[in-house]
Structure 1
Amino acid sequence: MKPDTSRWRDSASYDYFDDLSVEGLAWECLRRDETYQDHYQSLVKAGSDADPLPREVEQRWGLRFRRAAISLRC
């Protein structure tokens, strides 16, 4: 599904970005990626969009990491 870009110049449309977590910002970027959108649509058509996604898909799009995450906060 393509995001609605009709109001992209309206700064109020992006106010919620100020409160996003790192994960939320990453998702906003990923969901706008046309290659990701196409890949996800192919999974939906194939009926492969169930939880959990195939490991290869999770790794390709950064939805799964090779090792546990560490906190960078001090």
Structure 2
Amino acid sequence: MSGVDWRSEQDYANFGAAETADVAWEWLRRDGEYQQEFRNLTAAERSTGMTHQFRNKWGLSFRS
């Protein structure tokens, strides 16, 4: 995770231009449970796009 300080106006100067997906990702990547489950994925699972169950649980799969 980056060293951005969420309380710093300067670090988030471009926030007004953020799209919904940008805000959702910032929220998700700070979630402790998500971080732990991501760390628990094997290297093979990460290289093949993660598991179907993981993607569905965290809303990382989109219908086409």
For this structure pair, what is the TM-score category when the shorter chain's length is used for normalisation? Answer: 0.7 to 0.9
> What TM-score does the superposition give when structure 1 sets the normalisation length?
0.69
Structure 1 residue runs without a partner (length 5+): 69-74
Structure 2 residue runs without a partner (length 5+): none
Partner of 1:59: 56
- Cα distance in 2 for partners of 1:15, 1:27 equals 17
Partner of 1:35: 33
Alignment deviations for residues 11-46 of structure 1 (CA, whole Å, 9 cap, x no partner) = 111122211111111111100111111111111xx2
Question: What's the % identity of the aligned pairs?
Answer: 30
Q: Over aligned residues, Cα RMSD in angstroms?
A: 1.8
- Secondary structure of the residue that 1:52 maps to in structure 2? coil
Letter paired with 2:57: R
Give how far 1:64 is off: 1.3
Q: Report runs of 4+ in structure 1 exceeding 3 Å deviation.
A: none
Letter paired with 1:54: T
| Structure (1 or 2) with the larger CA radius of gyration | 1
Letter paired with 2:60: L
- Cα distance in 2 for partners of 1:9, 1:27 equals 17
How many correspondences in the alignment?
Answer: 63
> What TM-score does the superposition give when structure 2 sets the normalisation length?
0.78
